[in-house]
């Protein structure tokens, strides 16, 4: 929380976003129940859902430019992508995000899927994208094994994996802001598995234009 001692003469309002009407598409500070009918000079907003998807979409180009990593990471990721694509002469690169580790406890482990779930996911995607190469991105040292299919593990650090994932054509995995960010920056098509049994149709992969 911002130290209020830095604002000794300010009229401050603290808004808890949990009271916000989440049926609306935008976060507007003029909602009556927020009690901001006084001329506050400073408004501090706290909460997980503070966002404005319409403005994110409107200013997407500028946001992506701001989020771009150093050129070193971009050049390294491009070389990595070209190497992966050349190995099998494939035209489509699919990133599989195996979010393990902390997901065992997050939301009661509802998005923590066993390796066999991801193997089934890869086999399914292969059936709808037969010319695809697959790369696994994970915060754990794990591999997917499917007979007759070579699957590479990225194995980079967090920044390297984020940039590499953004260069995939398709991304699939459990709900995660990591894959959302990668898809948003790289214009990749994203599918989030909300259940272990979720198997996407090709049209369910969507571009992330906002969040």
Residue 100 maps to a domain: yes
% residues pLDDT > 70 (the chain) = 74
Considering the domain architecture, whether residues 28 and 128 belong to the same structural domain is answered as no
Considering the domain architecture, whether residues 80 and 181 belong to the same structural domain is answered as yes
Considering the domain architecture, whether residues 143 and 172 belong to the same structural domain is answered as yes
Give the phi and the psi of residue 5 in degrees, each rounded to 5. -65, -20
pLDDT at 162: 95
Considering the domain architecture, whether residues 88 and 119 belong to the same structural domain is answered as yes
Confidence of residue 1 (pLDDT cuts 50, 70, 90): very low
Considering the domain architecture, whether residues 134 and 45 belong to the same structural domain is answered as no
Residue environment code for 102-135, b if the CB has 16+ CB neighbours within 10 A, otherwise e: ebeeeeeeebbbebebbbbbbeebbeebeebbbb
Residue 33: domain span: 7-51
Residue 2 maps to a domain: no
Per-residue pLDDT for 87 more than 50?
A: yes
Confidence of residue 13 (pLDDT cuts 50, 70, 90): low
Considering the domain architecture, whether residues 147 and 199 belong to the same structural domain is answered as yes
Confidence of residue 27 (pLDDT cuts 50, 70, 90): low
Q: What's the DSSP call for residue 17?
A: G
Domain CATH for 73: 3.40.50.11350
Considering the domain architecture, whether residues 78 and 35 belong to the same structural domain is answered as no
Considering the domain architecture, whether residues 132 and 196 belong to the same structural domain is answered as yes
Confidence of residue 205 (pLDDT cuts 50, 70, 90): very high
Considering the domain architecture, whether residues 25 and 75 belong to the same structural domain is answered as no
Secondary structure (3-state) at 12? strand
Residue 85 maps to a domain: yes
Considering the domain architecture, whether residues 91 and 14 belong to the same structural domain is answered as no
119 vs 1, more confident:
119
Domain count, the chain: 2
Considering the domain architecture, whether residues 69 and 38 belong to the same structural domain is answered as no
Residue 64 maps to a domain: yes
State pLDDT tens for residues 95-110: 999 988 878 888 888 8
Top-ranked range on mean pLDDT: pick from 25-34, 61-70, 188-197: 188-197
Considering the domain architecture, whether residues 72 and 45 belong to the same structural domain is answered as no
Residue 1 maps to a domain: no
């Amino acid at each position: 929380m911002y130290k209020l001692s830095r604002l000794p003469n300010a009229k401050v309002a603290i808004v808890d976003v949990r009271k916000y009407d989440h049926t609306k598409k935008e976060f507007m500070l003029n909602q009556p129940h927020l009690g901001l009918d006084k001329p506050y000079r400073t408004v501090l907003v706290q909460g997980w859902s503070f966002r404005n998807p319409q403005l994110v979409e409107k200013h997407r180009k500028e946001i992506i430019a701001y989020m771009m990593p150093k050129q070193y990471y971009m050049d390294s990721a491009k070389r990595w992508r070209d190497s992966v694509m050349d190995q099998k002469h494939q035209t489509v690169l699919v990133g599989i995000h195996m979010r393990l580790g902390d997901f065992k406890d997050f939301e009661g482990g509802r998005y923590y899927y066993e390796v066999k779930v991801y193997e089934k996911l890869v086999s399914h995607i292969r059936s709808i994208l037969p010319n695809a190469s697959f790369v696994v991105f994970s915060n754990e040292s794990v591999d997917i094994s499917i007979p007759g299919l070579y699957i590479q593990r990225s194995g980079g650090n967090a920044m390297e994996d984020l940039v590499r994932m953004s260069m995939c054509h398709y991304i699939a995995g459990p709900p995660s802001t990591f894959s959302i960010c990668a898809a948003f920056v790289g214009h990749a098509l994203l599918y989030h598995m909300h259940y272990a049994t979720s198997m996407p149709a090709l049209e369910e992969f969507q571009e992330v234009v906002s969040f």
